[in-house]
């Protein structure tokens, strides 16, 4: 299940969870000055997960595969363990057919659809999520987390021991968010192949 889905800034600090808007958290980001067309970028998506609460004791030596979280963020031809989509086109060159080409943006999936035919678009977005070695993986050691937590500036998972994996994806110039509201939906998969419920947030970019 997803234990956290939110944003972090360039200094790795986590943005406070905003007041829900219509049941979905809304994060407001400003247009980057002189961007043409006007877009917002320069922040990071953070997704954390853990085994489902309904599972048996995951500390047991015979714990099921579902107690292990999947970590892949790029799986050409199929769906990765991190599956993420946006309701609006992001960045430049949407519709590019070369998967995981960071010179291009990501096409919208609206309505959201996490079926296999959407694998190219999902991979084009999810492959922006890398671990501390820049591999297409989630982070399983909290000491390698991309987020600063607490008051000491140390690094760790946002939800602490309530998370077993963290995915961090930087939104740079080629993946800018347009003016208006963009809904971003994500789900994650465990080692048994079971997927979580979909979690959504809204990225709101006011007109400059």
pLDDT score of 202? 95
pLDDT score of 99? 79
pLDDT score of 152? 76
Task: Give the pTM.
Answer: 0.93
Question: DSSP letters of 5-54?
Answer: EEEE-TTSBBPPPPPEETTEEEEE-PPPTT-SS-EE-SEEEEEEE---TT
Taking the domains of the chain in order of start, what are their residue ranges?
A: 2-205
The residues of the chain scoring below 70 in pLDDT are 19-21, 53-66, 93-98
Is residue 3 within 8 Å of residue 163, measured between CB atoms?
yes
DSSP-derived letter for residue 77 is T
CA–CA dist 28, 147 (Å, integer): 19
Is the torsion defined by CA of 48, 53, 57, 61 positive or negative?
negative
CA–CA dist 51, 87 (Å, integer): 27
Is residue 10 within 8 Å of residue 47, measured between CB atoms?
no
CA–CA dist 180, 89 (Å, integer): 12
pLDDT score of 95? 57
pLDDT score of 123? 94
Q: What is the pLDDT of residues 6-40, one digit of tens each?
A: 999 999 999 987 766 678 999 999 999 999 999 99
């Amino acid at each position: 299940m997803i234990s956290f889905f939110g944003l972090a800034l360039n200094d790795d600090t986590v943005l406070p969870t905003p007041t829900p808007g219509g049941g979905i958290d809304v994060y407001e980001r400003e247009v980057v000055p002189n961007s043409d067309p006007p877009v917002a970028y320069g922040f990071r998506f953070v997704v954390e997960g853990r085994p489902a609460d309904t599972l048996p004791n995951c500390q047991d030596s015979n714990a099921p595969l579902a107690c292990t979280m999947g970590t892949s963020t790029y799986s050409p031809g199929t769906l990765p363990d991190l599956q993420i989509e946006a309701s609006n086109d992001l960045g430049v060159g949407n519709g590019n057919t070369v998967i995981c080409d960071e010179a291009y943006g990501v096409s919208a999936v609206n309505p959201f659809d996490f079926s296999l035919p959407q694998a190219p678009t999902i991979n084009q977005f999810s492959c922006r999520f890398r671990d501390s070695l820049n591999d297409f993986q989630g982070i399983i050691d909290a000491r390698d987390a991309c987020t600063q937590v607490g008051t000491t500036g140390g690094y760790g998972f946002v939800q602490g021991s309530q998370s077993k994996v963290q995915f961090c994806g930087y939104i740079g110039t080629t993946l800018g968010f347009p003016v208006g509201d963009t809904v971003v939906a994500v789900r994650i998969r465990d080692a048994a192949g079971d997927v979580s419920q979909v979690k959504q947030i809204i990225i709101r970019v006011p007109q400059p």
